[in-house]
Every structure is written in C-alpha cells, then in structure tokens.
Amino acid sequence: MTWSCFLLSFLAVLPGPGPAPSTPAPLDVFEKLPEKLEGYRRVPASERFDHETLYQHIDGHAELYLSFGFRELLVLRYDRDGEAPIEVEIYDMGRSQDAFGVFAHGMERAEREVGQDSQYLSGMLTFWKDRFVVTVTAYPETEPRRRAVYALARTIAGLIKKDGALPGVVRRLPREGLAAESVRYFRHPVWLNSAYQISDGNPLALGPDTDAALARYKTGDNRHLLVLVEYPDERRAAAAEQSARKEILGDQPGPVRRPDGRYAALCRKKNRLALVFYAPDEKTARAALERAAEREAR
C-alpha cells in the first residue's frame, strides 16, 4: 500500500467535523477585520472552504489539515494599487492540540512574535492560537509589506480571546536539551516518517486514537531523537511495544546499534511508549529514556 493510499484510509476513519464549538469566536468574527490597515484595503469578497472543498484551495497539502480534524478555512485578501494582494488564511482546526500539530509540522524556528507560537519566513507569517492556525502571506516581500503582515497577524490574534492547551504528550517532553523548533505532534506514521524515516510501515501502531510527539535533543556533543506515544489503553501500548521491538530493535532488548551506526532504545510505562533514536552510544540512549521516565513521574 502506498503512503497516499495509507493516509486516505486513515482519513476515512476519522470522525466528521461535527458541530463547531461555541467558543472562542467563530470564523464570522474575522469577517470584521478592519477595512483599511497599513495603507491596504480589504477586498470585500471572502472565500470559505470546508473538509470537502479544502482541496480546491490547497491541493497537495490538504491531507495534513484533514488528518488533524480540520473544520473550516476563511480566506481574506488585502490589496493596494500596483501590488500583489496580501492573503490571509484562517484555519479552524476544532481543537488547540490539532492547531498546534498543523503549525508545528512546518516549523523551522521557534518564535513568539504573534499568538502562542509564530514563524516568519520570506513574506509568510504563520501562527497558532487556541484552535486556529493563521497564515498571512505577502509575496514579493518588502519592508512595508512585512509591517502590514505583522499588523494583520496581531489584529487577528487579538480577536482570539484565549490561548489553547498544548497536547499532553508534548507537555511531557523533557525540557533539558530540547530543540524547540523540532517538536512535532502527530497521529499518523506519514507525519512521523516525513520528519524522520524511522521505519517502513507502522510499527508503532499509530492511529486516530493515539497521540505522539517527537523532538530533537542535544546534551553536550550528543544528539538524539525522542518519540513519545500515548495509546488509549495498556493492551494497545503493549502490542505496539512488541511490534516496535521486532521491527525497530530486531527483537533485542536494547539499546541496539542500527545500520546507521546510531543507537535506538525503547521502554513502556502503562499506556505510554518512549523511544530513542540516533543516540551516539548506549549510555546516551539509556539516559534519554530515564529523563523521559522522570518527566512522566512529575
């Protein structure tokens, strides 16, 4: 089965979007953004897309949003004579955890200029706050357009009245040595393997009812990758542990030296699994698992 077919089968078992939550403000509120800002005028017409029509706007990338429970997208534009428009995309993801998941998937640097986390790259500013992911894009980039992008983003963030909770599995990542820009949250092996090719298939038995996070760490000169997975019950976690030991560790107790010359190890506590990859030696792998266990105990 190809990855695209695998992902489509995953999306098929996701629950429908259901009724939109009553708080925070629904997308209608964003229609009230100012008509003029930084010399730009809002184009009166806006566009909306739901989970059935999202492909019309972002064909080729819609799967990411849909796999995180996407609900609705509002697209607005601001223009000025003689310039390309500034485009505003406001994604309602339904839950703050899923908004973070989408945002973090493309994170290259950790900034907090707007919302709960943000990133600005060459004319595109993306941030998340509560259940929303917002992208403001101004190509080509100029300093006046950059100022307008930030002004728009901060105005939108101000309309979102509260912050949202991070996924629990992300909060349980140890903080020592953590590279904040590397944190990823996911429920599907496609997004795990798009960040780091851990293994073919789905040896961790990831699915719609699991929560997983990964992050890079550096302690001194040593680097490694940590993956945490939470399952709905101990039975599922135990089955995933057995599968991972076979497919990733070659049925050895670990830490195990993999073909790339780096070490991998894993441990399970109740319904939670912790795995270390790319450790330079056995000592680093064991220490990383110990730190993960200590964080779980708090």
Tell me the pLDDT tens digit for each residue of 248-278. 999 998 899 999 999 999 999 999 999 999 9
- Among 107, 117, 72, residue whose Cα is nearest residue 216: 107
Could you give the CA distance from residue 6 to residue 4 in angstroms, rounded to a whole number? 5
- Among 14, 26, 135, 136, residue whose Cα is nearest residue 85: 136
Cis peptide before 15 (omega within 30 of 0): no
Within 13 Å and on the Cβ side, how many CA atoms surround 57? 21
* Contact status, residue 97 vs residue 111, Cβ threshold 8 Å: no
Q: For the ranges 92-101, 166-175, 190-199, 221-230, which has the lowest average pLDDT?
A: 190-199
pTM of the model: 0.88
Structure tokens, 239: 């089955």
What mean pLDDT is predicted for residues 146-174? 97
Domain at 3-159: CATH code: 3.40.1000
The domain locations on the chain are 3-159, 168-297
pLDDT value for 7: 45
